[in-house]
């Protein structure tokens, strides 16, 4: 879609719509440029955001059709992943994941996550200072945890990281490289599923196989795709959220010191950092299936509509002093994990990882600081996830 050239109230050319990741003022709805380059609508106020994320008039599935039409042309197919589905297909798969990825399983991972964090921080301490925390902590932690959850042997996790990063990067990799990485992960999980079918273990893939057998409509191919979705969705957002959170704390050293002094603060601090510096600033775009109105703004059928959690998280209707970062904030219904039927499946795991990592980091490295000026840190700008490329620190 080419960009519309409108006029402003004074009759002059209107400014180009801002990139979706930069929209941060609660609106309720503004024109914005999506990562794809298309111009669509950004929903920026909390109430309207929650509405869009629950209303079937806004389809996830239709967004992924080759030339997204106003009405889906085909039933939502089994070749899609959770993000790309609408009910009832979505409901069926989602139920299976929720059953397997339950609270008990995540709680049982708690001690293991602590152990992984401690091991990574031991290695960081032994090799530094300085260190790049993205490499030594933020990237390996979620990857190790998700591999643990899925039952992927640790020795395979470096190959996984390469594949997952290639698939998620929107630029910098040729379509061929992306296809190759997809195929490699696909093959790996097909083998893993076959191995668990022959010899079940206490892991998520084995549990999903049980769900598959209960819910016979889940195919083995869908199960492989679910595992891949969890791997990819469980890695990038958490890695970037941890890195963004540490950067935010180090650029406000009084906040880092407060966490060191009062470790109990970590639970609310993690939520406040999710609210103010979200690694996923925008939920997956939806397609309007009919003409609709959001917050008084008419949206034509076929428009791309994206919820900006970054902006909605600053809505004064929902948050007192929204621009203030208050690590002790208790009322914090941010939208960083989404809302409604597609609400993040891994929210509880991500929270546990973030709390464990920030608590251990502030405890073990009370004098941690950036090793470069804050403005020298490079940021990912071309990805679904927002975060520093490297985080050079010293102590
Ligand atoms: C800080 C870390 C994370 C953030 C900020 C985050 C954010 C989100 C958001 C905004 C959505 C909703 C997207 C939409 O409405 O279209 C979502 C969905 C999802 N997330 Fe997360 N996520 C995080 C960590 C994880 C982890 C650790 C996992 C898995 C291990 C995970 C797995 C998923 C899956 C499978 C979905 C799709 C759910 C569905 O469509 O029903 N996420 N996440």
DSSP secondary structure letter of residue 2: P
Which residue from 109, 237, 241, 334 has its CB within 8 A of the most atoms of ligand 1, so it is best to mutate? 237
CATH no. of 20-394: 1.10.630.10
Tokens matching residue 145: 């945890």
Q: What is the mean pLDDT of residues 202-217?
A: 73
Which residue from 101, 233, 242 has its CB within 8 A of the most atoms of ligand 1, so it is best to mutate? 233
Q: What is the mean pLDDT of residues 199-205?
A: 86
| pLDDT tens column, 127-144 | 989 999 999 999 989 988
Instruction: Name the residue at shortest CA distance from atom 19 of ligand 1.
Output: 344
Residue 311: pLDDT band (50, 70, 90) is very high
DSSP secondary structure letter of residue 383: S
Neighbouring CB atoms inside 10 A of 200's CB total 14
What pLDDT is attached to residue 47? Answer: 95
What pLDDT is attached to residue 36? Answer: 80
Q: What is the mean pLDDT of residues 255-280?
A: 97
Distance 4 CA to ligand 1 centre (A): 32
What pLDDT is attached to residue 10? Answer: 42
Distance 130 CA to ligand 1 centre (A): 32
Distance 233 CA to ligand 1 centre (A): 6
Residue 17: pLDDT band (50, 70, 90) is confident
Neighbouring residues of 286: CB distance < 8 A, sequence distance ≥ 6: 52, 53, 58, 59, 60, 63, 304, 305, 306, 307
DSSP characters for 287-312?
Answer: EESS-EEETTEEE-TT-EEEEBHHHH
Per DSSP, what are the bridge partners of residue 307?
43
129: preceding bond cis by omega (within 30 degrees): yes
Q: What is the mean pLDDT of residues 350-368?
A: 97
- Measured CA to CA, the distance from residue 113 to residue 352 in angstroms comes to 8
Instruction: Name the residue at shortest CA distance from atom 43 of ligand 1.
Output: 344
Which residue from 160, 310, 345 has its CB within 8 A of the most atoms of ligand 1, so it is best to mutate? 345
What pLDDT is attached to residue 75? Answer: 36
DSSP characters for 160-199?
Answer: HHHHHHHHH-SSSS-HHHHHHHHHHHHHHHHHHHHHHHHS
Please state, rounded to an integer, the average pLDDT across all residues of the chain: 86
Per DSSP, what are the bridge partners of residue 287?
59, 304
Q: What are phi and psi of 253, to 5 degrees?
A: -55, -25
Alpha helices in the chain (DSSP H): 46-54, 89-100, 103-127, 133, 140-150, 157-168, 175-198, 204-214, 220-250, 253-261, 266-276, 309-312, 347-364
* Pocket of ligand 1 from Cβ distances under 6 Å: 53, 82-83, 94, 146, 229-230, 233-234, 237-238, 241, 278-280, 283-284, 336-338, 342, 344-346, 349-350
Per DSSP, what are the bridge partners of residue 58?
288
| pLDDT tens column, 54-64 | 999 999 988 87
Residue 232 has pLDDT above 60, yes or no: yes
Residue 212: pLDDT band (50, 70, 90) is low
Residue 71 has pLDDT above 50, yes or no: no
Q: What is the mean pLDDT of residues 321-325?
A: 95
- Measured CA to CA, the distance from residue 366 to residue 261 in angstroms comes to 9
Q: Using CA of residue 54, residue 59, residue 64, residue 68, what is the dihedral sign?
A: negative
- Measured CA to CA, the distance from residue 331 to residue 348 in angstroms comes to 18
Distance 60 CA to ligand 1 centre (A): 14
Residue 213 has pLDDT above 70, yes or no: no
Query: Domain map of the chain by residue range?
Result: 20-394
The proportion of the chain whose per-residue pLDDT surpasses 70, expressed as a percent, equals 88
DSSP secondary structure letter of residue 77: P
Distances, alpha carbon 59 to alpha carbons 4, 130, 290, in Å: 23, 47, 10
Q: Which of 70-84, 138-152, 186-200, 308-322 has the highest mean pLDDT?
A: 308-322
Which residue from 283, 337, 339, 352 has its CB within 8 A of the most atoms of ligand 1, so it is best to mutate? 337
């Amino acid at each position: 879609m080419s960009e519309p050239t409108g006029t402003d109230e004074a009759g002059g050319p209107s400014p180009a719509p801002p990139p979706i990741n930069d929209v941060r003022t609660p609106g309720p709805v503004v024109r914005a440029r999506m990562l794809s380059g298309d111009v669509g609508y950004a929903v920026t106020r909390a109430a309207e955001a929650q509405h869009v994320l629950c209303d079937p008039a806004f389809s996830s599935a239709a967004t992924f059709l080759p030339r997204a039409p106003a009405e889906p042309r085909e039933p939502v197919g089994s070749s899609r992943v959770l993000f790309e589905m609408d009910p009832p297909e979505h409901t069926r798969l989602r139920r299976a994941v929720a059953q397997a990825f339950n609270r008990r399983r995540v709680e049982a991972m708690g001690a293991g996550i602590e152990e992984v964090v401690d091991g990574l921080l031991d290695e960081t301490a032994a090799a530094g200072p300085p260190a790049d925390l993205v490499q030594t902590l933020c990237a390996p932690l979620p990857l190790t945890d998700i591999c643990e959850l899925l039952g992927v042997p640790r020795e395979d996790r470096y190959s996984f990281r390469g594949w997952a990063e290639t698939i998620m990067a929107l630029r910098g990799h040729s379509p061929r490289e992306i296809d190759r990485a997809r195929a490699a992960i696909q093959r790996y999980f097909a083998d893993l599923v076959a191995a668990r079918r022959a010899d079940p273990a206490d892991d998520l893939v084995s549990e999903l196989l049980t769900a598959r057998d209960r819910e016979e409509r889940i195919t083995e191919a869908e199960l492989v795709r679910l595992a891949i979705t969890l791997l990819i969705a469980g890695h990038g957002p958490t890695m970037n959220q941890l890195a963004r959170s540490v950067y935010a704390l180090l650029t406000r050293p009084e906040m880092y010191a407060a966490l060191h002094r009062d470790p109990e603060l970590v639970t609310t601090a993690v939520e406040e950092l999710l609210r103010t510096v979200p690694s996923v600033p925008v939920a997956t775009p939806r397609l309007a299936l009919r003409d609709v109105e959001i917050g008084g703004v008419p949206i034509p059928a076929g428009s791309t509509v994206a919820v900006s959690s970054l902006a909605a998280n600053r809505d004064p209707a929902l948050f007192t002093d929204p621009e203030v970062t208050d690590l002790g904030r208790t009322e914090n219904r941010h939208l960083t994990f989404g809302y409604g039927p597609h609400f993040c499946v891994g929210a509880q795991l991500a929270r546990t990882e973030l709390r464990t990592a920030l608590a251990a980091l502030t405890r073990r490295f009370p004098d941690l600081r950036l090793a470069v000026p804050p403005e020298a840190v490079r940021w990912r700008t071309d990805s679904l996830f927002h975060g520093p490329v490297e985080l050079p620190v010293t102590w």
